[in-house]
Structure 1
């Protein structure tokens, strides 16, 4: 079992999402910014290996305007060696990485333009994983989208759009249950229709469910993942912030709740992404708990020091 956190490492003085305004676009700025973002990503991965945090959700903005028509810089070829080196590092250290495209990626929108831009974004982000030479266990995580006043029609549009996706995107795509619109059961319907794995969010399930106890829900989601093509079940983990509106994520991990969740999970192979505000700080604590209860699998190799 691997533990991880998304996008930003607050212990390091760099970002993988450096960007600039669209109005100031130039090929030179793209080149400089991508180089900076990839260098930071390498540092984060090295930090993670040193601390046994072997699951990382990379930020979508590594290439500024990566799916926008304005970006004509040949970043795929210019940075091919750098992407490959990162992929080699990921594989050498038993890491798992993913992307979670932004909320504007909506495959079931009635607006054809939104759907096309969503597909373009998935192609862009998937191409980075391809350039890294990673297999189909490195995933692209999205939500089912909007309801638009008709759940059945919205699900039908999602399925129809999915069938038009490039095969390279289909191989990586997973759908996550959300906290307001699409429950685990809705996502299972999408899996039954097209085979898309269901990424399970425990907190979203607590907010929106059809009465499934957590151990049952986890096993229903896990059954949608092919052991070799998809890898272990991916989980987003969080809990309710005390005294805040329903659905607000906790600022730091509550250890008792996490231990209880691990009991629900016991017997399943899974990788856990902590969607918690203090990111790697909570991930360090979760890692220690996993080790204590005998559920942590350590990396086989050590990374070089982070400068």
Structure 2
């Protein structure tokens, strides 16, 4: 299995906290409401300007990640890369030959740079992108949104084969009411490219890890350690847990990817950073479960970081902390001592 990697999600936080640097390195968006107030030419110009900026921004993000140590060459791209891509009012804009050429050229170059430097890429549509729901319109919209992400991945050069170079598009399971069979039906509605890129993670409300295990034969499972801790009211899953073997098998030879985060610092201000947070104790102290779900700024708990180091034997990690690359770099420094093979 390939060497471990970890990385940050979507947004780059400059060390200088300089606003101009932040704008240059990060994507932006435009609302459909704003575009609707413009004449068609002005609306197209606005979309084209935002898309051009966003393509340059993700190019810079990938260049930044490519220059980091090998352990940190993993990155989740922002979903707002191409605003309004699935919206009827914007369809004609994205059919424009000049805009399509710009998108295809820039994404192809960015994807090639990622592959040359061993940067693993992913995307994660919002929680409203579901392929399993009792609401047929929600599924139709969810499938369209997912196919947009698949288009981006295809233009990046990840449109052929099973999760090429570890690339993937991750979603939550959707509505628990439709069960695992509802997810299977949703998978059948996706294009082949989309089915070859999709992964599903456990969450705190609908599909916990144990609920997803029956789907391991059709879709790779993403283990979210924080969601699992919340859903199970305090369980920390270890690498020797038999469920890990099921997750591994679901990826069919591709190195798995997992998520990690910690509850917010102010909630656990007096907590020993060398001890794993005790869910039951925190609830008895008056903290509400919904508050524990929030992500911290940094990976402040060293015991959780040690757990990540143990899991890096078999999986990569996306760090879902609010300070993005600052948090992932801190975690990388911590786990490097446990990983002599990391570069």
Range of TM-score over shorter length: 0.7 to 0.9
Structure index of larger Rg? 2
Unpaired segments ≥5 residues, structure 2: 15-20, 36-42, 269-286
2:180 to 155, 158, 162: 155
Q: How does 1:195-274 map to 2 (within 5 A)?
A: 195-209=218-232, 213-215=237-239, 216=241, 217-227=243-253, 231-241=254-264, 242-243=267-268, 245-265=291-311, 267-268=313-314, 270-274=315-319
2:171 paired residue number: 142
Instruction: Give the Å deviation of 1:41.
Output: 0.9
> Over aligned residue pairs, what C-alpha RMSD do you find?
2.1
**Is the CA contact 1:202–1:238 (under 8 Å) kept in the aligned structure 2?**
yes
Q: Which moved more, 1:127-136 or 1:91-100?
A: 127-136
Once superposed, which parts of structure 1, at least 4 consecutive aligned residues long, lie more than 6 Å away?
none
Aligned in 2, Cα 1:263/1:125: closer, same or farther, shift over 3 Å? Answer: closer
**174, 180, 190: which is aligned to 1:165?**
190
Query: What's 2:31 paired with?
Result: 21
**Structure 1: stretches of 5+ with no match in the other structure:** 299-307
Does 2:321 correspond to 1:276? yes
Query: Is 2:122 aligned against 1:98?
Result: yes
1:86: Cα distance to partner?
0.3
The one of the two structures with greater contact order (alpha-carbon pairs below 8 A, sep at least 6) is: 1
Please state whether the residue corresponding to 1:203 is helix, strand or coil. helix
Q: Name the stretch that deviates more: 7-16 or 122-131.
A: 7-16
Deviation at 1:36, TM superposition (A): 0.3
Moved more, 87-96 or 248-257: 248-257
Equivalent pair of 1:198/1:225 in contact (CA under 8 Å): yes
The 2-side partners of 1:68 and 1:296 are apart by 46
Call closer, same or farther: CA 1:294–1:155 in 2, change over 3 Å: closer
Q: Is residue 38–residue 82 contact of structure 1 (8 Å, CA) maintained in 2?
A: yes
TM-score normalised over the length of structure 1: 0.87
TM-aligned CA deviation for residue 263 of structure 1: 5.0
The alignment covers a number of residue pairs equal to 288
SS of 1:214 mapped into structure 2: coil
Q: Distance in 2 between matches of 1:30 and 1:284?
A: 33
Whether the 8 Å CA contact 1:184–1:209 is kept in 2: the answer is no
| Residue 37, structure 1, aligned to residue 54, structure 2 | yes
Change in Cα spacing, 1:219 to 1:286, as seen in structure 2 (3 Å) is farther
SS at structure 2 position matched to 1:253? coil
State the Cα distance separating 1:199 from its structure 2 match.
0.6
Q: Is the contact between residue 27 and residue 58 of structure 2 (CA under 8 Å) also seen in structure 1? A: no
